[in-house]
Structure 1
Amino acid sequence: MRHLPLLATAALGAALAAPLAAAPAEAAAPAGCTASDDQIYAAGTVQGSPGDLLACREVTLAGVSNPPGNKAWKVRYVSTDAAGAKIAVTGTVAVPTAAWTKGGSRPTVAFAPGTLGSGAQCAFSKQLTGQYVDMYEGDNIATFLKAGDAIAATDGVGYTKGATHTYVNGPNAGHALLDAVRASRQIPGGGLQADGKVGISGYSEGGHASLWGAQLAKSYAPELNVVGAAAGGVPGDLKVTAKALNGAIFAGFLADALVGLHAQYPDMPFDELLNDQGRKAVKDATSNCLLGTLAVFAGARVENYTTAKLTLDQLYALKGPGGVTWSEIVDRQRLGVGIGPAGSGAAYEIGFPVYQYRGWLEEIIPHETEDATHAAYCKAGVNTTWTNAYPSEHLSTDWAAAQDVTSFLNDRFAGKTTQGNC
């Protein structure tokens, strides 16, 4: 379903993630893709290495319009959260049935979806199979498949039973995205090879995840041959995005961010600050998908959800264990900090070209933060191609750019060079 614009956003956090039920830790390596849905999305602790495939289930991509012939699987795999803990993450892998004829092994696009909502039913892997229809990126998936690319699409962290989606938490998003590629190569009969080139793609929330995947690729998954990344509609600075969303029609994205960041940082102050309206807001954010969340929170302001009527700036100033503030935690999610090209010695070395883009009529993510992320990449010397020329608003830019993104990544798969336009 195509509908209102998506994603993006902001600040600190609310809403405790429900603790996982105690259970024996899972081991990796399924004998076959015969897991049930309950097993894919189960709660529980995990063991193994990042990217280890824990379970898989062959599916049909009913949520993708007119895809080429393909085999697809829901997957459950090991990843790492921002605290370094091993966690289970879910996603989808799809491989075209037509032979790859362009030389070398078939490449894989690591795909991070845009905002779908934090309810358990909203997982991209469920929506791709038609279990719930509140998504808009089926055509993007089809475009990659038609180019012959395999897809490793993460749901992101927090769609297993009892968990909460850690919306716009950068390290979580980047880890989950890269680990989806690792897991895709372990599917029995999947046919994907370890030497296959990798491209990274995402828009809006997915764009935030895509650039975090690009920034973390060398340090977290050095064995992956990542050759390019594309990211659009990027909320590079969550504070800038939060300020614009608070009290606006798209405040639901801010609600998801508040809930999601606190899910990763449950020891930080929040739950004890909520009034009755705030406690209801947490339930609303964790039970709705995209359109429901936008409807419930249209025009909402964070000041109305705490007993002390705290503003965003006052919430940022609150301290948790060790004296860390919410402001510091939110700033950790900012893109373009500590980056540099290969060999630069930067904390995040990016040794491949990056394509960044936004729509000219963008109305959700402030232009200044999208433009600033692009400028930071250029200033750091990262090979960056940029366009803001799409005559479209937030969501429709995702579709308008789909073929350009596919072409950009497939040029990298073909070994073509690009100098960027910084």
Structure 2
Amino acid sequence: MIAGEETLDPIIAALDRGWAVAVPDGENLGITGLGSHTFLAGRAAGHVALDLARAAQNLPEFAGVTGPVVLWGYADGGRAALWAATLHGDYAPELDLRGVAAGAVVTDPAALVEIIDSGPWSALGLAGLLGLSRAYHHLPLRHVFTADGHRAAQRAETLSAQILLAQYQQPLGHWCERSDPWNDPIWRYVLARENTTGFDELRIPVHLYHGRRDSIIPYELAHRLAADLRAGRTLLTWQEYDGDHLDTAERSALDVVNQLNTFLT
């Protein structure tokens, strides 16, 4: 199971091992008429990853043969992989989940948005607000938008990441009634549901990795997550790279496959 950046390197590396690879596209992506994406919604992404693992094992090509599962994700995909591992025991206990590899993990959406706001990646804050509001569509979360913000949201939720980053470089507060929409009471409830509490209770091996020069997801957040996992006695391995966000995604593929292989043997 692989989720994350738009690169074929992880898929090719896994296929070269002879593994069956399933790649989730995220909730509602690839299916028309069901609304926008659920970017940064870790719980929703975790359920998608586990559902896809179930579905893959029931394909006719496998003739009912099941096997061990490992999860691998990068950035929001890494967040999805860790959430899948957290939800696994209650949601999909029949899956033989052996381990997780997660790179450049988004541990705290609100903290990330505060860090990237007003920079070249600020549009990801808008994408996160849209994604979480879609995942929690039963709550009135888009009330924080101004009239211009509502119009921008309608356009932005249909765009690719590349176009979104190019066209929406304003701080998140530019589209909202308040400069810190994450501190709205309803949003604080959603973010409490989406924080990393529970990751430190994992009872399967976890491999974390991160680039020291990552300009999107700070290196320090990865160290904090690693410390939490170790404090919870998770069997943890760690690897860092002297690269930025995209460099690390590309350079890490073979290392991660080798680490995942140790979980399977």
Instruction: Note whether the superposition's TM-score is higher than 0.5.
Output: yes
Partner-residue secondary structure (3-state), 2:214: coil
Q: Establish whether residue 338 from structure 1 lines up as the match of residue 198 from structure 2.
A: yes
Alignment gaps of 5+ in structure 1: 1-109, 115-135, 320-324, 341-348, 415-422
Q: Which amino acid aligns with 1:376?
A: D
TM-score (norm 2): 0.93
Q: Which residue of 2 aligns with 1:266?
A: 137
Q: Which residue of 1 aligns with 2:158?
A: 287
Shift of 1:274: 2.7
Alignment gaps of 5+ in structure 2: none
Aligned equivalents of 1:410, 1:272: Cα separation in 2: 47
Aligned equivalents of 2:144, 2:99: Cα separation in 1: 43
Partner-residue secondary structure (3-state), 1:150: coil
Q: Which residue of 2 aligns with 1:399?
A: 250
Shift of 1:339: 4.3
Aligned equivalents of 2:264, 2:109: Cα separation in 1: 32
More helix by share: 2
Shift of 1:268: 3.3
Q: Which residue of 2 aligns with 1:147?
A: 17
Q: How many residues align?
A: 263
Aligned equivalents of 1:192, 1:352: Cα separation in 2: 25
1:238-387 equivalent positions in 2, closer than 5 A: 238-298=109-169, 300-306=170-176, 308=177, 310-312=178-180, 315-319=181-185, 325-335=186-196, 337-339=197-199, 349-387=201-239
Shift of 1:267: 4.1
1:2-81 equivalent positions in 2, closer than 5 A: none
Q: Which has the larger radius of gyration?
A: 1
Partner-residue secondary structure (3-state), 2:188: helix
CA RMSD, 1 decimal: 1.7
Partner-residue secondary structure (3-state), 1:157: coil
Q: Which residue of 1 aligns with 2:74?
A: 203
Closer/same/farther in 2, CA of residues 226 and 161 from structure 1, 3 Å limit: same
TM-score (norm 1): 0.59
Q: Which amino acid aligns with 2:260?
A: L
Partner-residue secondary structure (3-state), 2:46: helix
Partner-residue secondary structure (3-state), 1:287: coil
Which of 26, 30, 34 in structure 2 is aligned with 1:156? Answer: 26
Q: What percentage of aligned pairs have identical amino acids?
A: 29
Q: Which amino acid aligns with 2:221?
A: T
More strand by share: 1
In terms of mean alpha carbon deviation, does 196-205 or 275-284 score higher? 275-284
Shift of 1:368: 2.6
Aligned equivalents of 1:362, 1:311: Cα separation in 2: 26
Shift of 1:283: 2.6
Q: Which residue of 1 aligns with 2:39?
A: 167
In terms of mean alpha carbon deviation, does 232-241 or 325-334 score higher? 325-334
